[in-house]
Amino acid sequence: MAIPSGVSCQLIGTYSADRLNTILTSEVKEFCDYPVTYPPARYAVKLYRVIYTSVIPEQNNRPTVASGLVAVPETGAKTMPVVSYQHGTVFSKTSVPSHPDDSMETRLMLAQFAGQGYMVIATDYFGKGESPEFDSYLVKNSTQQACLDMLYAAQAVSKGLKIEWGPLFLSGWSQGGWATMVFLNKLESVGVPVTAAATASAPEDLFAIINRWLHAPEEGDASFLSGLLALQLNAYQEYDGLPGLAQTAIKPAYVSVARDLYLNKISWTEATSKLPKHLSELLQDDFVAAGSVGNTRYWSILQESQAYRWRSKTSLRSYYGDADEVVPPYIATLPVGYQKIMGGAETTAVEVTGKATHRGTFVYAVADEKKWFDQMAEAQRVAPGK
């Protein structure tokens, strides 16, 4: 397979239809007990690990390399619809798309979409997978760049496989919902058309959601929120030129644990016994107080990292759960009212009921958005160019 320099591609395996159907049944039940039924997979899927060149915008476009996954269903078709999937938060380096055996969310997307004839592409983000960088957790410009260059790399791989792209869709859960939105913003800014996008439990406004966790905690909040701040504070320290940020923000007793988690020196299982459950116990009082005003550099970056405030031209569905322990409905659905104000594209909030947790929202959204994408793809086939 001939592909341009700057992109390498390795076949890492094939998931048979039987393997995909195991994912859609027993494996998804182990992952989440929310009741969802998926149609059986129709095609085996070839899995390619892709390594590509990119740049880090926050560091004067310093060159780097990153990795991702291209999954190709064995349909025999010359043209395929494409889903770009943006993965959620993970505490390890390899629980990402380019290592699908370590990533249940990736496997579910492969089984539901690639097993039904969609090509699935997904980046690992800088610092994950085969990337030599620090973790770029919730770093906006680097997330956009990693996703954009992965899309270009996937197009090069597709050309080498002699497969043309049909309509392009975006999908993402949790951190990946936020990544989907900032990626959509980037694609629209460079003129790449997207047929539709869907997010599940997306933290659309990082400033708002972190302040919610800090100043209005609820009994049902997830126990891993301290881990999220440990990753994010260290990531902003590395990418945004904020030396000492983690030490300034985190109480001294937890600084080294947070750093070790960020550097993958310890697992989340090890860290969870050492980090406090509540953010008020993790973070220093002066740092928390600054969040109310938001005028320090860290809090300003958070405000700049919102993922929804532009006039979008792409139809969007925002899925939110009625029992989500991480992302409240009023955060996940922010794009709906904003696009109405702006006269933007149709944006719909979809509530997932029946005590849908963070994971429950995801497994439902994967099933429901596939039906919507199918409808959009068919409409584009019947009326191309519209």
pLDDT (tens, 9 = 90+) of the chain, 386 residues, equals 667 778 999 999 999 999 999 999 999 999 999 999 999 999 999 999 999 999 999 999 999 999 999 999 999 999 999 999 999 999 999 999 999 999 999 999 999 999 999 999 999 999 999 999 999 999 999 999 999 999 999 999 999 999 999 999 999 999 999 999 999 999 999 999 999 999 999 999 999 999 999 999 999 999 999 999 999 999 999 999 999 999 999 999 999 999 999 999 999 999 999 999 889 899 999 999 998 888 899 999 999 999 999 999 999 999 999 999 999 999 999 999 999 999 999 999 999 999 999 999 999 999 999 999 999 999 887 776 55
pLDDT at 6: 86
- For the chain, strand residue ranges (E) read 7-15, 45-56, 62-73, 79-86, 119-123, 164-173, 196-200, 316-321, 347-352
Q: In the numeric block, which tokens belong to residue 226?
A: 């301290």
Same-fold call for 7-205+309-382 versus 222-304: no
pLDDT at 2: 63
What are the backbone angles phi and psi of residue 69, rounded to the nearest 5°? -125, 140
Question: Domain 222-304: which CATH class?
Answer: mainly alpha
SS (H, E, C) 132-200: CCCCCCCCHHHHHHHHHHHHHHHHHHHHHCCCEEEEEEEEEECHHHHHHHHHHHHHHHCCCCCCEEEEE
Q: In the numeric block, which tokens belong to residue 117?
A: 């004839």
| Residues 41-71 as b or e (16 or more Cβ within 10 Å = b) | bebbbbbbbbbbebbbbbbeeeebbbbbbbb
Q: Which helix (H) or strand (E) holds 107?
A: helix 104-112
Q: In the numeric block, which tokens belong to residue 133?
A: 């960088």
pLDDT at 40: 98
pLDDT at 380: 81
Residue with token string 């405030």: 309
Which CATH superfamily hosts domain 7-205+309-382?
A: Alpha/Beta hydrolase fold, catalytic domain (3.40.50.1820)
Q: Which helix (H) or strand (E) holds 110?
A: helix 104-112
* Radius of gyration (C-alpha) of the chain in whole angstroms: 20
d(CA 223, CA 220): 9
Domain ranges within the chain, ordered by starting residue: 7-205+309-382, 222-304
pLDDT at 9: 96
pLDDT at 381: 78
d(CA 278, CA 213): 9
What is 352-379 written as a DSSP string? ETTT--HHHHHHHHHHHHHHHHHHHHHH
